[in-house]
Amino acid sequence: MALLLGLTEIETLMAAFGEIPGVTFPPDSGAGLPGAFWYPTSSDPGPVLRSFARTGHWDGIEAVRQNYHTLTGHRVLKVLFKQGKAIGVSYVPASATSQAGALTVKAKKEVIVSAGTIHTPQILQASGVGPKSLLREADIDVVVDLPGVGSNFQDHPFQVGAFFNFTNFPFHPDVNDMFENATYIAEAQAEFAANRTGALTIASGNCGSFLPMGVIAPDVFKDIARRYEAQDPAAYLPVGTDKTIVAGYQAQKKALAAAMRSEGSAFYNFFLRGGYNEGAVVYLHPLSRGTVHINKADPFFSQPLVDYRALSNPTDGEVLVEFTRFTRRYFQQTSLKKFNPVELTPGAHITSPADIIADLRTRMIPSTFHPIGTSAMLPRELGGVVDEKLQVYGVNGLSVVDASVFPDLPGAYTQQTTYAFAEKVSHLYET
C-alpha cells in the first residue's frame, strides 16, 4: 500500500481554488501574499519529529549557559515592587493552595513576564498592575492603574464556514484512513519507525487558502467595511470600557476597515486536510474583543476568567455569512462538484443570514489556540500596556515578552510571528 497520505486529493482540492476569480498561487508561502499555497511544517528534518520552542531553544541550554536556570512545577503569584520598581517575584509550588510559605526571587536588573496571553494579565493584575476598579474589588493594592491589562483579547475563531462530505471521492488512502483504517495505521507507524518516511511525515492542514474579503465577497465587501467603519467604537465593547481602550479600538477599527478593502490582507483561511470531509475555515481578523480578568474571589490560585465575547460585534456575523457562502461556492461551483459534495453543516436548508449566524453560534469554536492582545504594545492613551521597548507603563524594571503584546492578530497563524518577535526581542537583552 502506498503511504503518501493525501497528495493526489489535496492537489485536486488546491487546483479548485484556481477556478475562483481572484485566487492566485503565490510561489513562496512566506512572502506575505494572499492566495492558495503550501506552507512549511514545524518539523525537525533530522529525527522527523515536531519542532517547537522547547526542543528548538530550551533543551540543553543550561549545559552551555551557566547563568540560566529554569524552575518548573511552580506558580508565580505576583511581581514584587519597591517604590514603583519591580524587584522580584513571589512564587509557590504548583500544588499550593495558599500563599503560606511563598518564596521570593530577587531581580537585580529587570523582571520579564512571559506567561502568555491568558496568564500574563493574571500575574500583572494580581501584582497591582491593571484596571483599578477590578483590583480594588479583588482587594489588591493598586501599584499602577493600567486599564488595558486584560482587555483587547483576541483569538482566531474556527469552524466558521461550511463542512462538506464528498460522496464520490476516489482517492485512497486519505487522511481519514489515519483515524479509521487500523491496517493502514499500523503500516504507516511501522514505516515511520523503520525509515522515518511515509504518511506520518505529512502534516494535516499545511496547505490551503488565505484570501482577502474582495475574493470572498466581491459584491458586498466594501459595504461591510463601510458599515463597520461607521460604528461607534464603544458600542460593542464591554459596558464601562475605559476611554483609552475605546480610543485604541477606534484606531484598530480604522486599520481593519482598510484591511477589508485591501487585496493584500487575508481574512479567510481554509486549511485542507486531504479527506472526504472538508470545511476547516479560520477567521483571521475577528472584530469582536474579549477580556481576561482575575477571579476577584481568588485572584492567585483560581484560573483567570476568560471571556471571548465572540460574535459580540455584529460585523463579524456579516463576514462569517460571506465565509459560508464562499465555501459553498468552492464546493458546489468548481470542478469539485463532480465528487457529489453534500453539505453537513450548517446544512443546505439554512440560507438566510440570521439562520446562518444562529447556526454558527452553536458550533463555532472561538479559539484556534492563537490568543493575543491582553498586554498590548500601544500608546498608553490608546489602552496600551507596554511601550515599544516592551516596558510596562507606570513602573520601572518590568517588561512583558509574549504574544499578549500584539495589538492585533496577523492575517496568518501566530506561531511564526511569535517566534520572530521573540528572536528580535532577545537582541534587546544582549549584554
- Evaluate whether 278 touches 163 at the Cβ level (below 8 Å): yes
User: Which residue is associated with the grid cell 472584530?
Assistant: 287
- Cβ atoms within 10 Å of 267's Cβ, excluding its own: 27
pLDDT digits (tens, 9 = 90+) for 371-425: 999 999 999 999 999 999 999 999 999 999 999 999 999 999 999 899 999 999 9
Distance spanning both ends of the chain, measured CA to CA: 56
| Parallel/antiparallel/unpaired status of strands 281-283 and 268-271 | antiparallel
Cβ burial 171-186 (10 Å sphere, 16+ → b, else e): bebbbbbbeebeebee
Strand partners, 349: none
Q: What pLDDT is attached to residue 112? A: 96
Domains along the chain? 7-54+158-285+311-363 (3.30.560.10), 71-154+372-429 (3.50.50.60)
pLDDT digits (tens, 9 = 90+) for 213-252: 999 999 999 999 999 999 999 999 999 999 999 999 999 9
| Parallel/antiparallel/unpaired status of strands 43-44 and 49-50 | antiparallel
pTM as predicted? 0.94
- Separation of CA 159 from chain center: 14
pLDDT digits (tens, 9 = 90+) for 68-86: 888 999 999 999 999 999 9
Q: What pLDDT is attached to residue 7? A: 53
User: Burial level of 125, CB count in 10 A (0-12/13-18/19+)?
Assistant: buried
Per-residue pLDDT of the chain (431 residues; tens, 9 = 90+): 333 444 577 889 999 999 999 999 999 988 889 999 998 888 888 899 888 888 888 888 888 888 888 899 999 999 999 999 999 999 999 999 999 999 999 999 999 999 999 999 999 999 999 999 999 999 999 999 999 999 999 999 999 999 999 998 887 777 788 888 999 999 999 999 999 998 888 777 688 999 999 999 999 999 999 999 999 999 999 999 999 999 999 999 999 999 999 999 999 999 988 777 889 999 999 999 999 999 999 999 999 999 999 999 999 999 999 999 999 999 999 999 999 999 999 999 999 999 999 999 999 999 999 999 999 999 999 999 999 999 999 999 999 999 999 999 999 999 989 999 999 998 887 75
User: Which residue is associated with the grid cell 459553498?
Assistant: 328
Phi, psi of 44 (to 5 degrees): -85, 115
- Count of all residues that appear for the chain in the document: 431
**CA distances for 10 relative to 13, 28, 175, 278, 353, angstroms:** 5, 18, 10, 11, 30
**Cα gap 113→403, rounded to integer Å:** 11
**CA distances for 18 relative to 11, 21, 26, 209, angstroms:** 11, 8, 12, 11
Task: Write the DSSP string, 134-166.
Answer: HHHHTT---SEE-TTTT-SBB---BS-S-EEEE
